[in-house]
Structure 1
Amino acid sequence: MSQGKSSFTPIIFYAIIFTFFSCQKKERTYFEAIALNDVKLSNPKPGSWRYDHDEKFQKFEDFQKVKKIKPETGKNIIYLQPIGEFSNLQKNEIKLTQEYLKIYFQLETKILPTLSNSIFPKSVRRIKDEHEQILAGYVLDSILIKRKPKDAVVLMGITEKDLFPRPEWNYVFGLASYENGVGVTSIYRFSNGSLTESNFNKSLIRLMKIGSHEIGHMFGISHCLNANCVMNGTNTLPETDFHYARACSLCQRKLNSSIPYGNKKRLLELKSFFEKHHLNSELSRAEQDLNLFQ
């Protein structure tokens, strides 16, 4: 009996050791860890983007097959092109957005010298609801594409004038040509036409969201149907406000496959940015991601 018992014990011991080390090797990836912080989407309500648009879920495998812009050596800088007459608060809003996009995409991001509104001919201006609007397509085709720096992966125009895409439309938050890597957004409606100290952070985070959303599209990421995410489609400012500035785990995985940055470094920098500028909801989400990852 004693011999049979002694010969059997080591087998159990080795089995336990093997199981232990096997489990140790199966640690969660960064994306698996932060997926626990993803907030699933509820059923769309009338008037929302998903209610009005029947879009296909873009899986990671689908994303890999998409033709898209990628940063490459000598062509890896994000440029912001201000166009208009900006107040000091608006200039600060653009500067902070530049800092944010640099962290979000982990790419060098620069602000070009401001262009005057005189660059818009009379033929692309109109008065709507007692304020001036600019034809968004003209900004892309006749200004940004022609001025895109050679080392730019993306050029994003920012105007203080309201934008419209075509005569029958009232307005648009922005417009982009993903193939050419150029886009434009207006800050006019982010602060109801008047940026003040009291609405500064609300306007800032809207610009941060719209800017990272449009550039995310240029890098091949479709509208997100996975979770509450900056890449969700949006019809209105309240819908934009409801969406997080945080990219969900799936959209982060897509972005990181095109831009090989360190996820922990990015997350720590985002946390620091949100903390410094008192963006408390996004700070809380960054801290939750860090806790899950660590």
Structure 2
Amino acid sequence: MISQLIRRCIGSLLILCAIAGVAFGGAKSVIRLQPLGRKLTPRQIAAVKRAIIAFYAVDVEVAPRLPLPKLAYYPPRKRYRAEKILDWLAPTVPKRLRLVLAITATDISTSKPPHKDWGVLGLATLDGRVSVISLFRCRRRARSVRHALVRLMKVAVHEVGHNLGLDHCPHRGCLMEDGHGSVLTTDRERDLCPSCRRALERRGYRLPAPPKEIWSER
């Protein structure tokens, strides 16, 4: 009798938590930002943190800075392979974290047929626990330092979306839109589209209202 009551109470608590929108399932509601390399500033890291909190309503912690892994370096192009950074990062993710997002100012790349080495803004494991973003390409044709930073913030929201299970979105202006190798698509992106929001809600994630003024370049 007592055990049945306990099971009912636990079941009711889980239902209430789901209704209340306990994002990412309680103990794993923390995202860690992992700065890599020496070129990132505290302001840039703080801006990425702010964007993730605004869109996903999670706790975000910032880890001490680490050097870029030597095993990921690609000498022919003098940059770092993004998938090797993820492979290096994945075993280090504590169970208490939902995911780790690495941030660097250095150029990163991956394979994209027919290209053996293709420069990217970021890379994530789909429905996984690791991702990496780079400021390097966000600076291309940027109007200002702030404009490049806003782009980086959008890339962060995009890659975290992949970690939570979102694929690229066909809707123009959605933050999950595929850039097809161009940073310029980020300039028209403002929010997760209704379809992507519903997809996350079906997975049990309760998202806050779309943030206002977060993309201001002032």
Q: TM-score, normalised by structure 1?
A: 0.58
Matched ranges for 1:277-288 at <5 A: 278-279=216-217
Specify which of 168, 175, 185 is matched with residue 133 of structure 2: 185
Q: Distance between the aligned counterparts of 1:227 and 1:238, measured in 2?
A: 12
Give the partner amino acid of 1:219.
L
Q: What is the aligned partner in structure 2 of residue 116 from structure 1? A: 67
> Partner of 2:95 in structure 1?
150
Q: Report deviation, 1:85.
A: 0.6
> Are the aligned partners of 1:162 and 1:171 in contact in 2 as well (CA < 8 Å)?
yes
Verify the 8 A CA contact 2:147 2:217 in the aligned structure 1: no
| RMSD of aligned Cα (Å) | 2.5
Shift, 1:157, TM fit: 0.8
Contact 2:51 2:154 in 1 (8 A): no
Larger radius of gyration: 1
Partners of 1:208 and 1:84 lie apart in 2 by 18
**Alignment-mate amino acid for residue 79 of structure 1:** R
Cα separation, 2, equivalents of 1:137 and 1:222: 17
Letter in 1 for 2:79: Q
Distance 2:60 2:164 in 1: 15
Distance 1:178 1:141 in 2: 14
Kindly report structure 1 stretches of 4+ aligned residues shifted beyond 4 Å: none
TM-score, normalised by the number of residues in structure 2: 0.77
The answer for the alignment partner of 1:133 in structure 2 is: 79
Distance 1:152 1:161, change over 3 A: same
Equivalent positions of 1:22-171 (< 5 A) are 71-87=24-40, 90-117=41-68, 119-121=69-71, 124-128=73-77, 132-142=78-88, 144-166=89-111, 168-171=116-119
Equivalence for 1:210: 155
Q: Say which of 239, 243, 246 aligns to 2:185.
A: 239
Q: Distance in 2 between matches of 1:185 and 1:217?
A: 12
Unmatched 5+ stretches in structure 1: 1-69, 281-294
Q: Secondary structure at the match of 2:176?
A: coil
Task: Report which of the two has the higher share of helix.
Answer: 1
Aligned partner of 2:17 in structure 1 is: none
**Deviations 1:132-171, CA, capped at 9 Å, x for gaps:** 30121210112x1022122111211111211121482241
Q: Which has the higher relative contact order, 1 or 2, with Cα contacts under 8 A spaced 6 or more apart?
A: 1
**Higher strand content, 1 or 2:** 2
Asked whether the 8 Å contact 1:216–1:231 carries over to 2, the reply is: yes
Partner Cα separation in structure 2 for residue 191 and residue 139 of structure 1: 21
Number of equivalences: 191
Give the whole-Å Cα distance in 2 for the aligned partners of 1:278 and 1:238: 16
Given that 1:227 and 1:248 are in contact with CA atoms closer than 8 Å, whether structure 2 keeps it comes out as no
Contact kept in structure 1, 2:30 and 2:61, CA below 8 Å: yes
Question: Following the alignment from structure 1 to structure 2, what is the Cα–Cα distance between the partners of residues 165 and 227?
Answer: 24
The Cα offsets for residues 20-52 of structure 1, whole Å up to 9 and x where unpaired, read as xxxxxxxxxxxxxxxxxxxxxxxxxxxxxxxxx
| In 2, Cα distance between equivalents of 1:208 and 1:180 | 20
Distance in 2 separating the partners of 1:99 and 1:238: 22
Q: How far off its partner does 1:178 sit?
A: 2.1
Deviations 1:43-69 (A, max 9, x none): xxxxxxxxxxxxxxxxxxxxxxxxxxx
Give % identity.
25
Q: CA deviation at 1:96?
A: 1.0
